[in-house]
Structure formats: C-alpha cells, structure tokens
Structure 1
Amino acid sequence: MRRLSLRARPDLPPPPAPGDVLAEAHGLVVRLGGRPVLDGVDLTVRAGEVLALVGPNGAGKSTLLGALAGDVPADGGGVRVGGAPVGERSARQLALRRAVLPQSSPLAFPFTAEEVVRMGRAPWAGTALADEDDAAVAAALAATEAAGFAGRAFPALSGGERARVALARVLAQRAPLLLLDEPTAALDVRHQELVLRVCREQAALARGVVVVLHDLGLAAAHADRVALLSHGSLVASGPPSSVLTPARLSALYHHPIEVLPHPHGGAPVILPVRGPSKDSGAR
C-alpha cells in the first residue's frame, strides 16, 4: 500500500479539457487467488463524461475500478492515469489525479463528518491550491446535502449519511478523475438521484467520472457511456441505448429483461420480466 507523503512538492496536474484521456486500460489482466478476474480489458476514460460500469455479480466491475485507481495490480497489460503508468506515480501524485470512493468506508475513530471530508484535501497540502481547502469542503458538504450533520461523529451517522459524507470527501479532493464504487447502494431514491446528478455536474466541470452501478435504470438515465462486463471481459461499451439491449441483458443476467420507452420521453425503463405470483389463481 502506498504511503501518502506530504513533504515532496508534487507536480500538479493541468486542468483537464473535455475529451482529454484521464485513464486507460490496455489488455488488462488481473488474477486474484490464482483465478482470472479481468481478462484482456481495454477501456478509456475521458474528461467530461460519466462512464458506468455494469454487469452481473462477479463480472469484475470493482476490480476494474480498483485497477484504474492503481490499488489493484495488473498481472498483464497495464493502466495509465494522467498519461503515465500507475506504477510510476507516487501515492500523492495519484491522489492529485484521481479520487476513489470504495464500497465501504469503515472508520472507528470519532472524527466529525466535516473532518472526514477535509481528509480529501490532504494531497493539496503545501501547494498553492491549499488555500481552497475551506471552500472545497463547504462545497462538497453542500453538494451531498451533508452540511446539516457536519459536526456529528462519523460512526454515529446512518449508513446513508456516511455514504454521502464519503462522497463529499471524494468531491473535496477535486481530482480530475472520480472513481466511485456503488455510491448509491445505501441510499434512498431521492439521494440516489442526487448522487448521479452530482456525477453529471462533475462531468460538466470537465472531470471524468467512473461509477459502478447495479441499477441499470440509473446507468441508462445518467451515463454518457456504459461498459458492460461479464466474467472479467468487456462485452460492450458505448451509449446506454446501444449497450443496454433486451437480448444482451437477458443473456448476461440469465433472466428476461425488458427495455421500455419512458412514458414521458425520458431515459428508457429497464425492468426484469416477472411472471404471475404463485397464489395469483387462488382468488
């Protein structure tokens, strides 16, 4: 695990422009416990887009996200972040270029929510942008609707509140690339939509957002591109309308899935096909 050194002055990444390549995987192979989890994956992440990673359980979504972050080593192929191989960058150099939201954020010490969010500013210590710390923290708390409990101890928060604080920490980091692993898992419908709206706002700021989602409807509604994985391979990548087709989803999830037009002209509605209940003929 890399240590985050604050002594050396880092080379600050230039602000990205829409379309800039922020991360890329080429022929990526990852084995865990001797088992191939990713097998020859090619993927490019660009500034100004929301890229959703979707697929069945065990498809390799979280592993791919971890490899893009530089936290999961490659057994073949490679990953570049900000134009350089992840292995050639220090932990601080990576932290200035990508911010990572894991599936869970365990923290036993009674830091307040605001203190947890402020941890996202650590990579900028000693740089000219350290003056933005207070503004970045306040903006992140506001964006995630977490300002109201900023002074409460993080371990005392509900699961949904902790999830929003963890996302606020990532936003406060203000890295060009955001890597989010199931950020909506613990949230109600309102806050699921809030999180994906925040993702779209970040993309509008010329940042790149990669988000692992299980909800195909959220991916269809909010992603610019969808990467569909199965058994460690990239099955399809492109606009949601071309990737999330009934035949492809039904085959991968081993369950019939319908993709229906939205009644009010919005994103398509993706639903599992359900048969009659067992007691439907009893009445």
Structure 2
Amino acid sequence: MSGLRGLGAALRRVHAMPSMPAPGAVTLRSTGLSIDRRGASRARRVLDTVDFEVVAGQVVALVGPNGAGKSTLLAALAGELTPTEGTVELDGRRLDDWTPLDMARRRAVLPQSHTVGFPFTAREVVAMGRAPWARTERGEHDDERIDAALAAADVRHLAGRSFPTLSGGERARVALARVLAQDTATLLLDEPTAALDLGHQESVLRLATSRAAAGAAVVVVLHDLGIAAAYADRVAILESGRVAADGPPREVFTTELLTRVYEHPVEVLDHPVTGAQLVLPVRR
C-alpha cells in the first residue's frame, strides 16, 4: 500500500511540473473557433471559424484594426471565453479537460487592464504569479523567480511601493513581471506596450523574444505594426473576426493587404541603412 501511495505522489509531482515543450510544438490550438457576444437585441459574431496555432519557440503577434477580434481571440485561447462553436486545445487537450490550476501552470495571461483591489506592494503582486507552484518543487525557487522578474521588467526599484499608487506604465510593467514570475511555457500578452514609453516598449518585446528563444510560446496583441515587423516571428492579421493572413511579417505585411484591412493607405518599405521592414501610414 505504501508503494502505491509513493507512486501516486510521484505521478502527481510529474503532473504538476510540465516541462518546456519541444521547439516547434503546438502549445495552443483553436479549430473552427467562433465567439458570439450578446447585445441588447441579438448576438453579434466577433470571431468566425478561426483556425490558429501557437508554437513553442515563436513570438506570434495578433494585429488588426479596433474590433477585429484580437483580444477576443486571446481571451478564448486563455480559457476566459467559452466558444460558441469550435474548440481550443492546450498542450493537446481541450481546455475544459484542464483544471484552472493545471492551466495556470501551463499558460500565463497578461490582460489589458491592471487593477488590484487592495494596497499590495509591487513585489506582492509579482509574487501572485508564483501561486500555481505552491507546494511543488518549483515553489522552492519563488524568491529567485520573483527577483528575476522584477529585474527583467525594470521594476525592482518599485518593489516596496503600493501598487495602486503607481503610474499606468509602472503598473503595466509590474503586471508583466507577475506573468514572467509565473514561469509557464506559453505567454498570452494583451497589448503589453499600450501604456509604455518608447524604451520600455522595446524592452518588453525583447523580453518576449528572449522567452521564445528559451523555448516558450508567446502570443502578443499589438497595434504598432512596426514593432510587430521588428520582433514577431509570425503575424496573424485579423479582419472582422477572421484571420486575413498568417505568416512571417515580410510575407503578410503588404501594402495592398494592410491598406484594405485598416481602410487607410499604408506603405511598407525597407530601411535604407539597416534593411529593417518599416510599416508607415501614408500622411497627406
């Protein structure tokens, strides 16, 4: 009997400690995903039969105009929205097959808004990212992971400050540190650069690429097409709830497609010195 108990404990530890996926492995997949939102009089389809894959070792950017479905797709991938039709799979299993704790050990989510109801310090907020690893072997590394996340997000100097007293950009960086501290194989980041200055926008995307280089799968919702072109391995362009294009930036960022999707003239060109791809609105 004691042997069976020992085996059961060992299996629980393995289940609690998912390993980093192999490069190129699909960590999240949507198939035929549709989402309806209820309005005052009728339902409106905001995602329509979306097939989408999130791949280990890649940064994939979701771009598109307002209302295209970017944040809705991210929320559905995170398990925060129930599909009207279709399925979402995490590590090869449907989302409803996972417990919330199991999902929290496999994917971390950065929402657009960053509110905390109590005056926790910044360090305490970041420490919340370690909650899924309580009473596991990884919990032994909490302080190390928290310190590393504070440093990576450039908020170490804010560790003792009350979170509600921070500026919008500071709160956004502390929230990112919480996601980094969670230490999962898949990161879902919804507009992580929206409240940030230029330097911190660049540092956030460098963090995303470094996590992907270490084997993680990263999905990031962006409005800045130039940043997406510079840092994303793949870009999915959403248009009216559908994926209009999905591929490397140099393949999908074309003048014709972007001008149509954004309903505004867009120019795509190479930087004359560095050769980097530039995406610019045409201003008259």
TM-score for the superposition, normalised by structure 2: 0.93
Give, in whole Å, the separation in 1 of the partners of 2:199 and 2:63. 21
How much does 1:262 deviate?
1.1
CA contact (8 A) 1:51 1:211 kept: yes
Aligned match of 2:53 = 44
Aligned match of 2:36 = 31
Give, in whole Å, the separation in 1 of the partners of 2:268 and 2:206. 22
Q: Which moved more, 1:256-265 or 1:114-123?
A: 256-265
Give, in whole Å, the separation in 1 of the partners of 2:174 and 2:21. 25
Aligned match of 2:3 = none
Letter in 2 for 1:128: E
Over 3 Å counting, the alpha-carbon distance change for 1:154 and 1:197 in structure 2 is same
How much does 1:88 deviate?
1.1
Over 3 Å counting, the alpha-carbon distance change for 1:266 and 1:130 in structure 2 is farther
How much does 1:53 deviate?
0.2
Aligned match of 2:21 = 16
- Which residues of 2 match residues 1-283 of structure 1 at below 5 A? 11-33=16-38, 34-275=43-284
Letter in 1 for 2:125: V
Structure 1: gaps of 5 or more residues: 1-6, 276-283
CA contact (8 A) 2:56 2:216 kept: yes
Match of 1:107, SS state, is: coil
CA contact (8 A) 1:23 1:44 kept: yes
Please give the per-residue CA displacement for 1:151-189, whole angstroms capped at 9, x wherever unaligned: 100001111100000000000000100000000000000
Match of 2:16, SS state, is: coil
Give, in whole Å, the separation in 1 of the partners of 2:66 and 2:32. 22
Moved over 3 A (4+): 7-11
Total equivalences in the alignment: 269
Match of 1:45, SS state, is: strand
Letter in 1 for 2:32: G
Identity of aligned residues (%): 57
CA contact (8 A) 2:13 2:136 kept: no
Structure with greater helix share of residues: 2
CA contact (8 A) 1:9 1:127 kept: no
Letter in 2 for 1:24: R
CA contact (8 A) 1:10 1:92 kept: no
